[in-house]
Amino acid sequence: MAALRLILGDQLNEQISSLSDCDKQNDVVLIAEVREEATYVKHHKKKIVLLFSAMRHFASQLRDANFNVAYRYYDDEDNQGSLLNEVKLALQRHNLQHVVATFPGEYRLLKSMQQWEQVLGVSVEIRPDDRFISTPEQFSKWADGRKQWRMEYFYRDMRRQTGLLMEGDQPIGGKWNFDHDNRKSMPSDVQPPKPYTVEPDEITQAVIKLVENTFPDHMGKATDFSYAVTRSQALEVAKQFIEQRLPNFGDYQDAMREGDVWLFHSHLSFYLNSGLLLPLEVMQMAEQAYFDNAAPLNAVEGFIRQILGWREYVRGFYWHCMPTLQQDNYFEHTRALPEFYWTAHTNMNCMRQCISDTKQHAYAHHIQRLMVIGNFSLLAGLDPVAVNEWYLLVYADAYEWVEMPNVSGMILFADGGKLASKPYVASGQYINRMSDYCKNCGYSVSKKTGPKACPFNYLYWDFLIKHQDKLAKNPRMALIYKSLGRMSEDNIAAMQEQAQALLSKLDSA
């Protein structure tokens, strides 16, 4: 039976399961730019450019490989505005009665697709997304019956399953995890290489024009777009990372530096999450660099752990915990996002730098997201729904399956500790240790109170006081609560008063 083969914007790979047995003579491959997906949150302009351009280039790649592609442009006069209606129209135009799709990355879309048979009156086959190493079912089987879920143990199972960095049933180097070696601040004389950039071709230039004209009130600008948009370009980004950045990736993966967003990170999440690169192939590239003595074990293991451990883990966690995850709010936080989340106009240099990087590049590395912007979001009691929406729309690599566990679980502890064993909160001293941001800040990181005190300092202690009933029994918080117990009442009162003043100012802005 001839079929309509649906390709979503984050499934841009010929090895995707929905194309695995495609009949090029009779089947039709549908790729559609639709308003519903582009605007359900106001995605960063560069994110839309990346996806629309990559989709258009992928359609051209498929045509060159003799696939019959029905491509729907955003500004087509008869664009149906939603994925469901585009599928309906394609079925009618091509006289098809069968849809083949790959498992999507968002709960809301899966629930919609599961109704398509009834709504459209055709057979709909939703195949597993086998780009991932594990399956949602595998994660649920692993999680069921465990009192605590911890990525480290899931990661070890993934290592055993794939054989990556393994000698028989034991990890190479005698340890599973070299994270302890990967927390160095970056010396001022260390200069990371420049990132791989691509000059926009005619296809990308047309998308840039479309995005600037059609989404004028979305964050950022599209005119300076320079990311990879094809598989061959993405492979060059991966190759450059392995050769130029991976050797120092482990040492400096948690470091931050003013004016330098790229550092020694891979920048591959754009391409892994959209399908231009496959997780296993880039992990094997990194592993080979270790075997070739081109990169140290701590760097290679740390990189592989981010993909095989964390990326696989949060995907399984997302599907296991939905739909309740999207409503979790353990601390009952309700504060609206401050205006500077959009403008970057704040006297806190660390926040100004990280939000400015985000606005300019639709990218910030994981410590900027977690320990600066995320840290402030939790300390300030921001509404988890609003924070999730912000992270989803501002980053070009953000899709709900990866964004929501990281935000609700890791950043906000909104799930009450299912994902993280403790809240990832810290005072300004952590930011000062891992960056040079504090040198050019309007506040003093050494002060806990007073007009020049770093807001992260007094917000940190205020947060611990407010939530002592929920956190004091956490064994990983015991030492910090002992420190709190040694503080004078006057000092505590001063920090609480200053925290309340700042939070009230945010509320009235």
Measure the CA–CA gap between 18 and 4, rounded to whole angstroms.
10
What pLDDT sits at residue 464?
97
Q: pLDDT for 430-468, tens place per residue?
A: 999 999 999 999 999 999 999 999 999 999 999 999 999
Three-state SS for 103-127 is CCCCHHHHHHHCCHHHHHCCEEEEE
What pLDDT sits at residue 231?
98
- Where helices occur in 45-133 by DSSP H, the ranges are 45-64, 83-94, 107-113, 116-120
Nearest to 326 by CA among 391, 273, 262: 391
Measure the CA–CA gap between 5 and 125, rounded to whole angstroms.
10
Distance between first and last Cα of the chain? 60
What pLDDT sits at residue 36?
87
What pLDDT sits at residue 301?
96
What pLDDT sits at residue 508?
86
Token pair in block for residue 132: 């991932």
Please report, as a single letter, which amino acid is at residue 425: V
Nearest to 429 by CA among 420, 438, 421: 438
Any residues with CB less than 8 A from the CB of 327 and at least 6 apart, and which?
A: none
Token pair in block for residue 331: 């601390």
- SS3 at position 453: strand
Instruction: State how beta strands 123-127 and 28-32 pair.
Output: unpaired
Q: pLDDT for 358-379, tens place per residue?
A: 999 999 999 999 999 999 999 9
List domains and CATH numbers for the chain. Answer: 4-127 (3.40.50.620), 136-198+210-320 (1.25.40.80), 340-508 (1.10.579.10)
173 φψ region: left (φ > 0), alpha (ψ -120 to 50), beta (else): left
What pLDDT sits at residue 286?
98
362 φψ region: left (φ > 0), alpha (ψ -120 to 50), beta (else): left
DSSP string, 223-271: TT-----SHHHHHHHHHHIIIIIHHHHHHHTT--BTTBS-TT----HHH
What pLDDT sits at residue 166?
97
10-residue mean pLDDT series, the chain (509 residues): 96 98 97 90 96 98 98 94 96 97 97 96 97 96 90 96 96 92 84 94 98 96 97 98 96 92 95 98 98 97 96 97 97 97 96 97 96 98 98 97 97 96 95 95 94 97 96 93 92 95 91
Token pair in block for residue 169: 């049933």
CB 411 within 8 A of CB 356: no
- SS3 at position 80: coil
CB 360 within 8 A of CB 381: no
What pLDDT sits at residue 78?
94
Token pair in block for residue 286: 């990194």
- SS3 at position 335: strand
